[in-house]
């Protein structure tokens, strides 16, 4: 295979950092100024290039040759040492620049003293270190003959061949699994019950067969509604099977609430209480545990479910299924035709299935090599999508990697081949993800900051921001299926096999602590992580004693509200990790003070102290001249930032939300590289304050607090918000602010107009009577989220309907709004993309003018604590999914009947706390309503339906009526059959419901 067709070795990406520094004029100037031997620079550069020429051949041969693998490990170690040495020089350069900038009067004398004392010592250290690294590299380069390594033609970092950034749409079709899906659904919906409750079925098959994908499609299939499960829950177990952890995770999935119980007996009782008498479906995904006694301990509370309860398991091992006393469904490889469909769907651009016969023949042969594994087909298809020529396809088809045996590597060849063809800069970013446990859900922005802290996001001549480079890298890995979207929120995950691949390629320098691994971590480890739930097995920092050149220290939290403790002194750590680049103590409650010695961490790029108990930061932290990221969120005792924070001139991200800090440090405007700032406090001397903000070239996120301190609208203009390429902007006035001139209030907000690329906007406590035009004139054409909260003096809403991309709108506490009319929409084609609309705490709101065409895509509507609004104003609002009305909304003495037929397309209705409503009416059959909840209706007595509920609501599957003491009448014919086992009522209606449902169902529906 031609070397130039390969993306470049992982080692090449690490070498590139050194190449960039060695090519820097500042480094040459440094050596000349210090009278250091300039030949050391050129020799190091030459030697690193010699090593780089061997890197690609070594990366492939290491899979089958242990000696080459050991050689490559030693080379990486030497390269990392060289990079650390160059990092020390970089720190000195930055230190001198900062001191020259901020202490010009004393700088000359300090430099003189430095030359006389420290300079000599530092010079010797640099020269000695470089000679040592050169000796190592020369020794390793001379071994190429004995190892049979050949020089390749690859050069550079591979960044020229950009991977297409278009992201593939998640498939809605599972190819070749229809029969498997039908078998599993038939098992779920069958009436035959196992004497051992609950009944268990395991989907068994090797990694990459699509077990999880199949289970997901079954879990969400409408056909299983026939089984009438009271509870459905999905739990990802993975290879960490701890009885308490797994049981608690099941409890959290069932209740949809976080549980921090540390006692198994307590968790068992809670889970038993939730499942007793309930028919449930539980999916346990990716189970590895082969110890029967551990499974029996988890199973105990599950056995209290009602007959017909089911547990669906996915696992790679039949022994796992056997120990769970489970039926087995073996998942086989895909048939040839189905394999081709999966491959073609990913290998060819949308609709582009017109390919020549030769390409088709090559593609068919590649498909044969994937052994019917969907993940392999998807991965290799994504790779070939980026290759346009027949020769590229042939090279991939003929690669030696296909010949790898299981003895050589457990990794599927197609996956390794996809990794092999990644550009070296993407290999480095992907390999770093080995710090994540399997099934870990990560946030894109946070991972990009981690890459930035490791110098992974370099661009030629620094023409692009690292954040932009990171976004591109992430999207490239996403488009190549190395990452995939999580089922929840804005997170992402990696497939288990890709997680294994990341750990394989980074085994020399990444280490994730597990409970079953004891002793110290390897001395060559550069990046270290541990799961907080394993913290009892983490004996302080003693295990790090051998890893003297550690670069990353990362606790992995199950969720962002987790906390952890450490027994040993945290401050001892600083003396052991002099080369650390990313240091996180997120959620460590034992950290209440940061030692002055933190200034010794000269290589530190990222420091996260969020969620700790610190009260202040030492002044010495301002000597961390290489610091790029500083996070202090949720440090509830932190009162101020260091005075000399402005000396951290490289800082790009500063966050200190939810602290006691209320003002910015002096000279804050000197942080010219800052991209993310949350929050910024406007000083009472607003002119100086906003000028400093205006001088910052922010991208990403910005929160401006105490906007009421801007008395002169021209000062707001000084903040220069419009020229900052922000994605998210928050504007906050003090809640008790009394406006002295509403016109000036409006002018201030007008002059804080953001850039047109803004996506999310929050406005709190604005005191103007009306909003400026930029809020609605579609100058914010990319805005997808808008929240207006406690703008109490506003008398009318702007034409928000003109915002063409808006998807979510939240309006809360606008006490001055009495009527919402045509001005809210702005045109006949208003709210073209709006999906979620919420109104809260609108005390005076009485009228709402609306047309059936006003919200063409509305899915969810919430009206909460809007007591004067009449329900007739809602009848023209077309909602397709969910309606929530709560907190005395529409609560007038004349409104006694809620007309459900106003909402014929509704799937879910939640009514809460409407004090005056006595009846709910519906004239015609409602074919869409599936979920109905009525809570805290003290006057509610009955439903007014012309026919039995079974006819009026054929799709209704869940009904909850609680805290409605006056309920007195249900229709003849009882409740719909679909909900007889999926219904909750409060105690006072027990006898009434016993008549309707029958006594045999009441034990599982009673709610006290």
Among 73-77, 112-116, 920-924, 980-984, which stretch is predicted with the lowest mean pLDDT?
112-116
Predicted pLDDT at 1003: 39
- For residues 377 and 346, the answer to whether their CB atoms sit within 8 Å is yes
Query: In the predicted model, is pLDDT for residue 932 greater than 50?
Result: yes
Residue range 961-983: mean pLDDT, rounded: 66
Dihedral of the CA atoms 919, 882, 872, 845 (nearest 10)? 110
Query: In the predicted model, is pLDDT for residue 12 greater than 60?
Result: yes
Predicted pLDDT at 540: 57
Number of H helices, E strands in the chain: 28, 34
Among 110-114, 218-222, 360-364, 764-768, which stretch is predicted with the lowest mean pLDDT?
110-114
3-state DSSP assignment of residue 553: strand
- For residues 341 and 173, the answer to whether their CB atoms sit within 8 Å is no
Residue range 18-27: mean pLDDT, rounded: 78
Query: In the predicted model, is pLDDT for residue 623 greater than 90?
Result: yes
pLDDT bucket at 403, cuts 50 / 70 / 90: low
Q: What is the largest CA-CA distance in the chain?
A: 100
In the chain, what is the straight-line distance between the N-terminal and C-terminal CA atoms, in Å? 72
- For residues 682 and 709, the answer to whether their CB atoms sit within 8 Å is yes
Residue 273 burial (CB < 10 Å; 0-12/13-18/19+)?
A: exposed
Question: Two tokens at 975?
Answer: 């409740």
How far is residue 59's CA from residue 73's CA, in Å, rounded to a whole number? 10
The β-bridge relationship of strands 785-789 and 699-705 is unpaired
* DSSP of 656-701: --SSS--SPPTTGGG-TT--EEEEEEPPSSHHHHHHHHHT---EEE
Handedness of CA 663, 665, 667, 668 (dihedral sign): negative
How far does Cα 43 stand from its chain's mean position?
A: 44
Predicted pLDDT at 659: 94
Residue range 462-490: mean pLDDT, rounded: 84
Instruction: Report which listed range, 27-36, 131-140, 366-375, 527-536, is most confident.
Output: 131-140
Question: Two tokens at 597?
Answer: 């010695």
How far does Cα 740 stand from its chain's mean position?
A: 43
Query: In the predicted model, is pLDDT for residue 707 greater than 50?
Result: yes
Q: What is the pLDDT of residues 729-760, one digit of tens each?
A: 999 999 888 877 888 889 999 999 999 889 99
Predicted pLDDT at 518: 55
Query: In the predicted model, is pLDDT for residue 991 greater than 60?
Result: no
How many CB atoms neighbour CB 298 within 10 A?
24
* Tokens 């278009």, residue located: 166
How far is residue 490's CA from residue 138's CA, in Å, rounded to a whole number? 47
Q: What is the pLDDT of residues 262-312, one digit of tens each?
A: 788 888 999 999 999 889 999 998 888 878 888 888 888 998 888 889 999
Predicted pLDDT at 586: 92
Residue range 543-550: mean pLDDT, rounded: 79
Q: Where is pLDDT greater, at 28 or 475? A: 475
Residue range 461-488: mean pLDDT, rounded: 84
How many CB atoms neighbour CB 38 within 10 A?
12
Query: In the predicted model, is pLDDT for residue 835 greater than 70?
Result: yes
How far is residue 445's CA from residue 464's CA, in Å, rounded to a whole number? 17
Q: Where is pLDDT greater, at 349 or 10? A: 10
Predicted pLDDT at 154: 42
Residue range 124-133: mean pLDDT, rounded: 85
The β-bridge relationship of strands 527-531 and 552-556 is parallel
Which residue, 556, 557, 546, 606, is CA-closest to 580? 606
Question: Two tokens at 558?
Answer: 């199950």
- For residues 514 and 242, the answer to whether their CB atoms sit within 8 Å is no
How many CB atoms neighbour CB 473 within 10 A?
24
Among 513-517, 609-613, 747-751, which stretch is predicted with the lowest mean pLDDT?
513-517
- For residues 899 and 876, the answer to whether their CB atoms sit within 8 Å is no
Which residue, 482, 466, 354, 478, is CA-closest to 415? 482
Predicted pLDDT at 636: 93
The β-bridge relationship of strands 983-986 and 958-962 is parallel
Residue range 519-527: mean pLDDT, rounded: 81
Residue range 31-55: mean pLDDT, rounded: 82
How many CB atoms neighbour CB 443 within 10 A?
14
Predicted pLDDT at 1008: 31
How far is residue 398's CA from residue 406's CA, in Å, rounded to a whole number? 19
Please report which helix (H) or strand (E) contains residue 606, including its range: strand 606-608
- Mean residue pLDDT across the chain: 81
- For residues 630 and 652, the answer to whether their CB atoms sit within 8 Å is no
Q: What is the pLDDT of residues 322-371, one digit of tens each?
A: 888 888 998 888 888 888 888 888 887 654 555 567 777 888 888 887 87
- For residues 383 and 480, the answer to whether their CB atoms sit within 8 Å is yes
pLDDT bucket at 114, cuts 50 / 70 / 90: very low
Predicted pLDDT at 921: 86
Beta-strand ranges (E) seen in 455-526 are 484-485, 491-493, 510-513
**Angle 140-144-147 (CA atoms, 0-180°, nearest 5)?**
110
Residue range 563-572: mean pLDDT, rounded: 71
How far is residue 520's CA from residue 126's CA, in Å, rounded to a whole number? 30
How far is residue 175's CA from residue 179's CA, in Å, rounded to a whole number? 11
- For residues 367 and 27, the answer to whether their CB atoms sit within 8 Å is no
Query: In the predicted model, is pLDDT for residue 144 greater than 90?
Result: no
* Tokens 């045509």, residue located: 822
Predicted pLDDT at 629: 97
Predicted pLDDT at 115: 44
């Amino acid at each position: 295979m031609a070397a130039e067709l390969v993306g470049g070795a992982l080692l090449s990406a690490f070498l590139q950092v050194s190449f960039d520094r060695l090519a820097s004029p500042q480094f040459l100037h440094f050596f000349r100024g210090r009278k250091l031997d300039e030949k050391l620079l050129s020799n190091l550069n030459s030697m690193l290039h010699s090593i780089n020429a061997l890197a690609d051949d070594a990366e492939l041969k290491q899979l089958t040759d242990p000696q080459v693998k050991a050689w490559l490990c030693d080379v990486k170690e030497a390269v990392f040492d060289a990079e650390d040495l160059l990092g020390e020089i970089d720190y000195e350069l930055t230190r001198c620049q900062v001191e020259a900038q901020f202490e010009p009067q004393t700088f000359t004398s300090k430099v003189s003293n430095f030359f006389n004392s420290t300079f000599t010592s530092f010079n010797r250290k640099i020269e000695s270190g470089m000679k040592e690294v050169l000796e190592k590299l020369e020794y390793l380069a001379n071994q190429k003959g004995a190892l049979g390594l050949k020089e390749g033609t690859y050069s550079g970092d591979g960044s020229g061949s950009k991977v297409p950034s278009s992201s593939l749409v998640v498939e809605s079709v599972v190819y070749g699994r229809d029969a498997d899906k039908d078998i599993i659904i038939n098992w779920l919906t069958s009436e035959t019950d196992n004497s051992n409750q609950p009944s268990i079925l395991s989907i068994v098959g090797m990694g990459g067969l699509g077990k999880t994908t199949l289970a997901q499609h079954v879990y969400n299939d409408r056909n299983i509604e026939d089984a009438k499960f009271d509870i459905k829950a999905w739990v990802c177990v993975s290879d960490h099977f701890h009885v308490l952890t797994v049981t608690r995770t099941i409890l959290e999935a069932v209740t949809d609430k976080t549980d921090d119980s540390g006692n198994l007996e307590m968790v068992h009782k809670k889970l038993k209480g939730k499942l007793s008498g309930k028919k449930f479906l539980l999916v346990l995904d990716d189970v590895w545990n082969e110890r029967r006694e551990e499974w029996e301990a988890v199973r105990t509370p599950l056995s209290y479910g009602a007959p017909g309860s089911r547990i669906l398991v996915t696992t790679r091992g039949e022994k796992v299924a056997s120990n769970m006393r489970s039926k087995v469904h073996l998942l086989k490889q895909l048939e040839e035709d189905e394999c081709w469909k999966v491959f073609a769907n990913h290998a060819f651009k949308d609709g582009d299935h017109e390919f020549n016969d030769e390409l088709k023949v090559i593609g068919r042969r590649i498909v044969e090599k994937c052994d019917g594994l969907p993940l392999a087909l998807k991965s290799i298809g994504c790779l070939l999508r980026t290759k346009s020529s027949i020769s590229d396809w042939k090279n991939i088809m003929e690669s030696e990697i296909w010949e790898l045996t299981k003895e050589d590597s457990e990794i599927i060849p197609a996956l390794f081949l996809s990794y092999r063809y990644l550009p070296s800069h993407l290999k480095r970013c992907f390999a770093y993800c080995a710090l994540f446990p399997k099934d870990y859900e990560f946030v894109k922005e946070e991972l990009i900051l981690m890459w930035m802290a490791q110098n992974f996001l370099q661009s030629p001549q620094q023409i692009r921001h690292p954040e932009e480079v990171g976004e591109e890298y992430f999207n490239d890995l996403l488009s190549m299926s190395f990452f995939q979207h999580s089922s929840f929120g804005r997170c992402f995950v990696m497939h288990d096999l890709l997680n294994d691949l990341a750990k394989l390629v980074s085994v020399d320098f990444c280490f994730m602590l597990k409970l079953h691994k004891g002793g110290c971590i390897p001395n060559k480890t550069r990046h270290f992580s541990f799961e907080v739930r394993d913290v009892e097995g983490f004996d302080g920092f003693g295990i790090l004693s051998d890893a003297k050149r550690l670069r990353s220290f990362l606790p992995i939290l199950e969720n962002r509200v987790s906390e952890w403790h450490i027994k040993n002194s945290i401050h001892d750590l600083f003396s052991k990790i002099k080369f650390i680049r990313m240091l996180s103590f997120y959620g460590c409650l034992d950290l209440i003070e940061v030692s002055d010695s933190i200034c010794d961490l000269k290589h530190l790029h990222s420091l996260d102290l969020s969620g700790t108990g610190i009260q202040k930061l030492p002044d010495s932290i301002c000597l961390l001249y290489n610091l790029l990221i500083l996070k202090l969120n949720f440090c509830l005792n932190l009162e101020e930032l260091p005075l000399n924070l402005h000396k951290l001139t490289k800082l790009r991200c500063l966050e200190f939300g939810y602290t006691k800090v209320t003002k910015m440090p002096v000279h804050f405007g000197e942080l010219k590289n800052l991209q993310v700032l949350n929050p910024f406090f406007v000083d009472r001397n607003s002119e100086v304050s906003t000028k400093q903000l205006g001088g910052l070239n922010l991208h990403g996120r910005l929160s401006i607090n105490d906007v009421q301190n801007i008395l002169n609208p021209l000062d707001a203009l000084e903040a220069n918000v419009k020229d900052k390429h922000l994605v998210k902007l928050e504007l906050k006035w003090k809640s008790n602010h009394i406006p002295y001139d509403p016109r000036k209030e409006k002018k201030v907000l007008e002059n804080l107009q953001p850039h047109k690329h803004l996506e999310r906007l929050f406005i709190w406590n604005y005191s103007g009577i009306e909003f400026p035009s930029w809020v609605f004139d579609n100058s914010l054409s990319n805005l997808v989220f808008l929240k207006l909260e406690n703008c109490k003096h506003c008398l009318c809403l702007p034409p928000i309907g003109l915002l063409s991309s808006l998807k979510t709108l939240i309006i809360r506490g606008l006490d001055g709004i009495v009527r919402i009319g045509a001005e809210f929409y702005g045109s006949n084609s208003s709210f073209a993309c709006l999906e979620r609309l919420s109104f809260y705490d609108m005390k005076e709101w009485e009228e709402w003018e609306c047309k059936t065409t006003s919200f063409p895509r509305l899915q969810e509507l919430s009206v909460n604590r809007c007591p004067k609004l009449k329900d007739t104003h809602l009848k023209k609002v077309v909602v397709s999914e969910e309606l929530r009305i709560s907190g005395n909304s529409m609560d007038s003495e004349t409104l006694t009947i809620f007309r459900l037929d106003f909402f014929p397309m509704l799937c879910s209705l939640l009514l809460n706390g409407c004090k005056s409503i006595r009846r709910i009416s519906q004239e015609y059959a409602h074919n869409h309503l599936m979920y109905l909840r009525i809570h805290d209706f003290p006057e509610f007595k009955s439903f007014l339906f012309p026919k039995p509920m079974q006819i009026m609501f054929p799709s209704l599957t869940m009904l909850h009526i609680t805290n409605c003491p006056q309920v007195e009448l249900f229709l003849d014919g009882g409740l719909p059959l679909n909900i007889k086992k999926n219904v909750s009522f409060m105690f006072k209606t027990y006898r009434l419901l016993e008549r309707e449902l029958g006594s045999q169902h009441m034990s599982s529906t009673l709610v006290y």
